[in-house]
Chain A
Amino acid sequence: MRFSKNLTIGQYIHKDSIIHKLDPRVKLITVLILIIIIFLTNNWIGFFVIGMYLFSAIIISKINPKYVLLGVKPLLFIIIITLLLHLFTTKGEIIYTFWVLKITKEGIFKGLFIATRLFLLILSTSWLTLTTSPISLTDGIERILLVFKKIKIPVPAHEIAMMMTIALRFIPTLMEETEKIIKAQIARGADFETGNIVNRLKSMIPIIIPLFINAFHRADELAVAMEARCYKGGDGRTHYRKLSIKIYDNIFLFVTFIVFILVAILKYY
C-alpha cells in the first residue's frame, strides 16, 4: 500500500558502474567520512564541496538522481519540522512577525543550514544502499568489524553481520505480508481510515497479531533450516566472495580524503 511505495531505503538498483564495483568497505568508509564532514562543516562553501562530490558520485553510479531523491521523501517531514523550529526559535534581527511567531534573519540561515545538513546525510546513505547490494554491504561491515578483533576487542562481527543480512532479507517479505494482511482485513470490512485515535489504534490489532505470528513462524523455520545445514556461527567460516582493494578503490578513497582535507581547511581557515 501507500507506505511501501516511496521506500527506497534498502532498495538496491543494479547498474554496471565503477561505483557498483567498488569494495563495500571503501564505500562504507567513504560514507563514514562524509557523515563526519557533513557535521564538521560550518559554512556554505563546505556544503557546496560535499554536494558536488556526492552529485558526481551519483552521476558516476549511473543511477537516475530521481531515485536517490526519492529516498529523502519519507524524511521530508522531519527536515521541514527542523527548518520551521529554527526559523521561529532563533533570536536575532526580526524581519517578519506573524501572531506570536517571529521570523529572524538568523533563523532563516540556521534553518536552511540544518535542513541542508540533514538532506546531505540522507542523500549519502541512500547513495550507499542504492549502489551496494545488502549482501556485500553486510560483508563489508563484517570485515570492518573484524579489525576490532585484531586489536583484541571482542566483537561478534559475524553474528552482527548475519543478523543484519537476515533483517535486510526479510524487510521486503514482511512488507509484502503486511500489505497482504491489510488487504485481507479490508476485504473483511475492516476500516483503517476513519474514527478517532483509539479506534484507529484498535483497528491495527488485526494487522499486527497475524504479522507477529507469521514472523515468529518464519524465524523458527529459518533457524531449523540453518541448523539442518550445520550452521554454527562465525569461527572458521570461509567466504564465497573475497573482498579485495583495487586501483579504483584507492583512487576513490584518495578523492574522498582530498574532500575531507578541503572541508577541514574551510572550517578552520
Chain B
Amino acid sequence: MFIDLKNVSFTYNLNMPFETEVLKSLNISINKGEFVGIIGHTGCGKTTLLQLLNGLLEPTVGNVFVDGIDIHKEKNKLREIRKKIGLSFQYPENQLFEETIFKEIAFGPKNLGLKGNNLIENVKKAMKMVDLDYSNYKERSPFNLSGGEMRRVAIASILAIDPEVIILDEPTASLDPQTRNKLLNLIKDLFRCYNKTIVLVSHNMEVIAELAQRIIVMEKGRIVLNDTPKNIFRNNVELLEEVGLAIPQITSIVHKLRKMGKPIRTDILNIEEAKNEILKIARNNR
C-alpha cells in the first residue's frame, strides 16, 4: 500500500459558527502503479481529499500514511512526501508567476534541491511529456500563451518534480475538445509509458471510465463505491443514478439493449468494445 488513509475525517472551521464536516471517516488505499479515478458531485469533498493525500491538510480525525510513514507524526518528512506525490490543482494555470516558461517549470524541482544539468534535463523531459517544444518555448512568457498551453505548462511544472504519484484535479476543465483529448492522451502515457501512479479527479464519467483501473465514487463526504469500472457499470448503475452521476452514454445504451432482451454484456465502457459486441450479436442472430 503506497498511500493509506485510515479512518480519516475532515472538518473545516472547527469550533466556529461555519463549521462543516466535509469528509466522514474515509478508508482509502492507493497502490503503486495504479490508476485511480475519483468521481463525485461538486462539494462532495474530492478536492479536500486530494489535499489530504499529500499532506497539505491535516485530518481532524484519523491518520494518513505514505510508504508506511504517518506523515503528520513526522512533519520533517512532508517535503520528501511532496516530492513523491505531485498535485495539480483545478485550473493550475492560475498559479503561474515566472518570467519565462523555463523558470516556471524549474520552480518545483529547484525548490526540492535540483541544480545545473539535472535541472535542465528535468525541465526538458517535462516539456517533452506535455508536448511543448523546449527550444521554442523556454524563453517565452507563460502569460502570452493560449489557455491550453498554459494548462500544459502548469502540469509540466508538476511533472518536472518527477513524482511517483501524480494527482490531477479536473485537468480537463474548460478546455476545448481537441486540447482535452491531447491532455487525456498525455495522462494515459504518464501511466503506461512512464509508470506513474495516477489519481484523477473528475465529474466527467466518460473520462474516468475510460482511463481508470479503479473508481472511487464519493457522495457527501463518504465513499459510496470503490471498484473496477466494469464491476461498477455491471452492478451498480441504479446506485450511480441515485447519487445523480450519469453513466457513460455507451454504457447506458448497452443497458437499454439489455432491457430490450438482447444478450449483450453490460460492462462495456467504450464505443469500440460496444461495436464489436453488437456486431457479434447481430451475426449470431443471422
Contact = CB atoms under 8 A, between A and B. Distances in A.
B94 A189 contact: no
A67 interface: yes
Given A67-B17, A180-B89, A183-B51, A188 B94 contact: no
A203 B89 CA distance: 20
A186 interface: yes
Contacts of B56: 183, 186-187
Interface in B134-193: 143, 157-158, 161
B89 A183 contact: yes
A186 B81 CA distance: 12
Contacts of A239: none
A133 interface: no
Interface string A176-187: 010011011111
A5 B95 contact: no
Contact of A190 (B13, B83, B92, B111): B111
A156 interface: no
A230 interface: no
Contacts, number: 62
Interface stretch (A73-81, A103-111, A113-121, A205-213): A205-213
Given A5-B13, A183-B56, A188 B161 contact: yes
Contacts of A186: 56, 82
Contacts of A183: 51, 56, 89
State which size class the interface on B falls in.
20 to 34
A189 B161 CA distance: 9
Nearest to A207: B97
A206 B96 CA distance: 8
A64 B97 CA distance: 42
Say what secondary structure dominates the interface of chain A: helix
Contacts of A191: 79, 111
A154 to B, nearest CB: 41
Contacts of A184: 87, 89, 92, 94-95
Contacts of B89: 180, 183-184, 187
B229 interface: no
A13 interface: yes
A136 B87 CA distance: 41
A185 B112 CA distance: 12
A205 B104 CA distance: 12
A214 interface: yes
Interface in B104-134: 107-109, 111-112
A210 B95 contact: yes
Given A13-B17, A64-B17, A187 B86 contact: yes
A261 B252 CA distance: 76
B202 interface: no
B54 interface: yes
B286 to A, nearest CB: 57
A180 B95 CA distance: 9
Interface residues of A, number: 23
Nearest to A14: B17
A188 B13 CA distance: 26
A185 B157 CA distance: 10
A188 B51 contact: no
Contacts of A214: 94
B122 to A, nearest CB: 12
A168 to B, nearest CB: 17
B107 A187 contact: no
Interface string A3-27: 0010000010100000000000000
Among B79, B96, B111: residue with most chain A CB under 10 A: B111
Among B17, B18, B89, B161: residue with most chain A CB under 10 A: B17
A184 B54 CA distance: 11
A180 B108 CA distance: 16
Nearest to B85: A187
Interface in A79-125: none
18 contacts: A13-B17, A67-B16, A67-B17, A180-B94, A181-B95, A184-B89, A186-B56, A187-B89, A188-B95, A188-B158, A189-B79, A189-B82, A189-B111, A190-B107, A191-B111, A206-B97, A209-B97, A210-B94
Interface of B: 13, 16-18, 51, 54, 56, 79, 82-83, 86-87, 89, 92, 94-97, 107-109, 111-112, 143, 157-158, 161
Given A188-B158, A189-B161, 14 more contacts: A5-B16, A177-B94, A183-B89, A184-B87, A186-B82, A187-B54, A188-B107, A188-B161, A189-B83, A189-B107, A191-B79, A206-B97, A213-B97, A214-B94
Q: 3 smallest A-B Cβ distances: which pairs?
A: A189-B111, A209-B97, A188-B108
